[in-house]
Chains A and B, each alone.
Chain A
Amino acid sequence: MKSNFLCSFSVTSLSSDAFDIDLYHESLALRKRTFVDEMRWPLATLDDMETDQYDTLFSHHITAKVDNLVVATLRLLPTTHNLFGSTYMILDAHRGRLPDMPASIMQQEIIDPATWEASRLAICKSVLPRDRNALLRELINYAMDFIRGQNGSGMLGLMNPVFIRIFNRLGFSVSQFGPVCHQSDGPICVIKYDF
């Protein structure tokens, strides 16, 4: 690996005793800058933050920092999540409950305390292309360690299918878990990580 990309990772949750409000704010702010300001996705915002129905007491927010600036964020939610009619993003989309997302995207429904969903992955555009794979690899490693700490052993994500090959080359055990759907941003599919 050529990249010498160095960053520090943290995780915070509204339900944690050590809840870090600044980190939580920076995570939602990077999502707003990335998805709303730059990509023009029609998402709900409040001031400089983007938020949705899956940012709950049960969600955990991982951030990667370089020189004290958040450069990437990822949200983790157990697939057992069910709050006020919302489960987790991939399952709600699969069931056709999210009008801006494709339906029938999962090979089968998963509701399992050992499997978590990774969503709202955003990376700051200041991260150079040559460093992005290294950053993503470390971000996923950190997420997997966190999930293992919760007695979990699997993770679902919704990404471009090209990442299946990339992640397997990077040493993860990753498989496609549903059909490829074509959207304006390109193809996406549910990816399942086993660890």
Chain B
Amino acid sequence: MSRIEVATYSKLAERAGFSITIEKIDIALFKLSNGEVRAIENHSPHPKGGVLTEGLVSGEYVYCPVYDWKISLRDGKVQAPDEGEVKTFQVDIENDSVYIIM
């Protein structure tokens, strides 16, 4: 397990996706309106794929920008009636640094 510093907390914009690539893994980081930060794989589980960073963020969810699936940023689950799941990553915040545990 490693803990990787990926961003500066105070510089993250609210309700916007921050895209990072770590070792070929694309990750979308989101700072929610309540200040929490969530990280999920930047790839929609829709059969035709698509990125998530540019999606509309609403509360604890992001809407896939390409096919409008609603995805939970808490557990990565696609909301009914669609189905699927995106990988989530644990996030740590310490002294204004944002870390991803993977």
Q: Do A and B come from one complex?
A: no
Interface residues of A, Cβ cutoff 8 Å to B: none
Interface residues of B, Cβ cutoff 8 Å to A: none
